[in-house]
Amino acid sequence: MLNRAQQPPIKITDNIDIPRPKFINLNNGARLLIINEGDVDVCRVDIIFDAGSRYQNKKLEATATASLLAEGTAKYSSHQIAEYFDFWGSFIGTRADKDFTKVTAFSLTKYLSQTLERLEHIVKEPTYPTNEVDVWTSRGKQNLTVELDKTSTLARMELFKCIYGENHPYGMFAMPTDYEKISSDNLLSFHANNLGSVGSTIILSGKVSDNQISAVVKHFGETSWGKGRVNTLQVEESSPTLGKVFVSKPNAVQSAIRIGREICQRTHSDSSDLSILNTILGGYFGSRLMKNIREDKGYTYGIGSYMVSLRDSTMLAITAEVGAKYTKDALTEIWKEVNKLKTEPVPLAELSKVQSHLMGEVLRSFNGPFATADSIIGLINYNNLDYSLHDRLIKSIKHITQERLMQLANEWFDKDLMVECVVGPENPF
């Protein structure tokens, strides 16, 4: 007789084979990683430059330089470039974050060499035509204006500003008027000085063979171009503003809540254990915050806590959009959950559930070639491709204890060192 009340026996994953793609040092100072996986005929090329907004002289320079790469080269107009990639069914994504500029090309494997041929032009010799810069700035200004109408955007910006300081490279945000100050010359110079071959990393992932590898080497591995960055300096110290920030948004039906602080970097010995504590607090569906504030009280559609990792800093952020009338109560419950972690040991049943869940998460981060590529990119962001990050995390998941978690909660979850930001119709403070 089938016993439906009894869960079938489960096995806890304990040995995870983390893919470690070998890398090839190319003649021009770049390096190439190959992740050959998958059963459908598509592939992806990522080119990563140490060229984020932290290196810019003017707001938006890095973003504009990346976003406009495909808008004109010495040989081809913006329209010709767009036609070409669309014809071969390729997608090109170019963007800058605070630390890096990433160029990504998605291509059918059979057309990769065609894709790379034009990709080489846009990466190495963009011209930033004035009319294209104008279209980009006017669209960008509009899009940002719409973004700034969202409580969630405003709250996120406040949190970064409070944690790092609004003049810090990690706490700085562009406003619509900054779009007017960008010129073609700024972008040419940012490109020439930051997006060079030396120090860049190229990742080829998907279903590929030797043909695709030699095509990448041919277009991006032989001659050198531009100036790159080999030794990255640490970002300057943050200058946080602690306390509570409220931004009024009359008529909003929900309040956006963001709570957080800067915590230890991923190289720190507390980091991997701390990520388990974060998971318990708000890092998965069964977390304390979700169980209490969504599944018991129904104040929100979703609440979570995250460790946001930048190259030289990591921050903890608790985020939620809650019904406006529940704002105060939601804050009270968030702090209740934080305090509980400081004063009561995490029950063993809950701990073992989190351990299994996290091992599953590690497996899921290698679900297909592109998930694997994303994981590897995460490692580049972390200490230049140091694989020990995964090993330390797996070790932490296996050996974490109740005592250690409580100790970490007391060390890192100090309310006085956290910033609370709320954007909504009514001030809860």
Partner 1 sequence: MISFEKFTLDNGLKVIVHSDKSMPIVAFNILYNVGSKHEDPKRTGFAHLFEHLMFGGSVNVPNYDDPVEQAGGENNAFTSNDITNYYLTLPKENLETAFWIESDRMLGLAFSQKSLDVQKNVVIEEFNQSYLNQPYGDVWLLLRPLAYKVHPYQWPTIGKTPEHIANAKLSEVKEFFYGHYAPNNAILCVAGDVSADEVLQMAQKWFGPIPYRELFGKIIKKEPLQTEKRTLEVTRRVPYNSIYKAYHMCSRSHNDFSTVDLTSDILSNGKSSRLFQSLVKQKGIFSNIDAFITGDNDEGLFVITGRLNDNYTFLQAEEAIDAEVEMIKTEPISDYELNKVKNKFESNFTFGLTSANEKALNLCQYELLGDANLLNTVVDSYRMITNTDIQRVAKKIFATTNCSTLYYKADNTNQ
Residues 212-251 that bind partner 1 (CB under 8 A): 251
294 belongs to the binding site for partner 1 (CB under 8 A): yes
209 belongs to the binding site for partner 1 (CB under 8 A): no
Position among 297, 340, 342, 404 found at the interface with partner 1 (CB under 8 A): 297
359 belongs to the binding site for partner 1 (CB under 8 A): yes
- Applying the rule CB under 8 A, the residues between 390 and 419 that interact with partner 1 are none
Exposure pattern of 386-400 as b/e (b: 16+ CB <10 Å)? eeebbebbbebbeeb
Query: Residue 22: what are its φ and ψ, rounded to 5°?
Result: -70, 155
Encoded tokens for 116? 């790379």
379 belongs to the binding site for partner 1 (CB under 8 A): no
Choices 95-103, 187-195, 357-365, 388-396 (CB under 8 A): range interacting with partner 1? 357-365
Q: Which SS3 state, helix, strand or coil, does residue 258 take? A: strand
For partner 1, the closer CB: 365 or 383? 365
Choices 224-232, 319-327, 335-343, 400-408 (CB under 8 A): range interacting with partner 1? 319-327
For partner 1, the closer CB: 170 or 370? 370
344 belongs to the binding site for partner 1 (CB under 8 A): no
Q: Smallest gap, in angstroms, from Cβ of residue 366 to partner 1?
A: 5
For partner 1, the closer CB: 52 or 206? 206
For partner 1, the closer CB: 307 or 354? 354
Query: Which one-letter amino acid corresponds to residue 25?
Result: N
Q: Smallest gap, in angstroms, from Cβ of residue 108 to partner 1?
A: 5
252 belongs to the binding site for partner 1 (CB under 8 A): yes
- The Cα–Cα gap between 231 and 381 comes to 14
- Applying the rule CB under 8 A, the residues between 55 and 114 that interact with partner 1 are 70, 78-79, 82-83, 85-91, 106-108, 111
Query: Is 330 buried (19+), middle (13-18) or exposed (0-12) by CB count in 10 A?
Result: buried
Position among 263, 354, 380, 409 found at the interface with partner 1 (CB under 8 A): 354
323 belongs to the binding site for partner 1 (CB under 8 A): yes
Query: Which one-letter amino acid corresponds to residue 343?
Result: T
DSSP bridge pairs for 103: 47, 94
- Applying the rule CB under 8 A, the residues between 117 and 136 that interact with partner 1 are 135
- Applying the rule CB under 8 A, the residues between 266 and 285 that interact with partner 1 are 284-285
Strands of the 314-323 sheet, one edge to the other: 243-248, 419-424, 254-263, 314-323, 300-309
Q: Smallest gap, in angstroms, from Cβ of residue 418 to partner 1?
A: 24
- The Cα–Cα gap between 382 and 197 comes to 20
- Total number of residues that touch partner 1 (CB under 8 A): 78
Q: Phi/psi class of residue 206: alpha, beta or left (left: φ > 0; alpha: ψ in -120 to 50)?
A: left
- Applying the rule CB under 8 A, the residues between 27 and 56 that interact with partner 1 are 37-42
Strands of the 31-36 sheet, one edge to the other: 23-25, 31-36, 201-206, 42-49, 101-108, 91-96
Kindly write down the DSSP assignment for every residue of 232-246, as one continuous string.
Answer: PPPPPPP----EEEE
Choices 138-146, 179-187, 236-244, 380-388 (CB under 8 A): range interacting with partner 1? 138-146
User: Do residues 78 and 197 touch, judged by C-beta distance below 8 A?
Assistant: no
Strand segments, DSSP code E, in 213-352 are 243-248, 254-263, 300-309, 314-323
Position among 180, 295, 344, 391 found at the interface with partner 1 (CB under 8 A): 295
361 belongs to the binding site for partner 1 (CB under 8 A): yes
Choices 61-69, 352-360, 386-394, 414-422 (CB under 8 A): range interacting with partner 1? 352-360
Q: Which residue has the tokens 């960055």?
A: 229
Q: Smallest gap, in angstroms, from Cβ of residue 11 to partner 1?
A: 4
Q: Which residue has the tokens 């929900």?
A: 254
201 belongs to the binding site for partner 1 (CB under 8 A): no
Position among 94, 186, 200, 300 found at the interface with partner 1 (CB under 8 A): 300
Q: Helix H segments across 125-208?
A: 130-147, 151-164, 184-194
User: How far from 167 is each of 99, 171, 180, 222, CA to CA, in Å?
Assistant: 16, 6, 20, 39
CA dihedral 224, 43, 360, 98 (to 10 degrees): 40
For partner 1, the closer CB: 244 or 357? 357
Q: What's the DSSP call for residue 68?
A: T
296 belongs to the binding site for partner 1 (CB under 8 A): yes
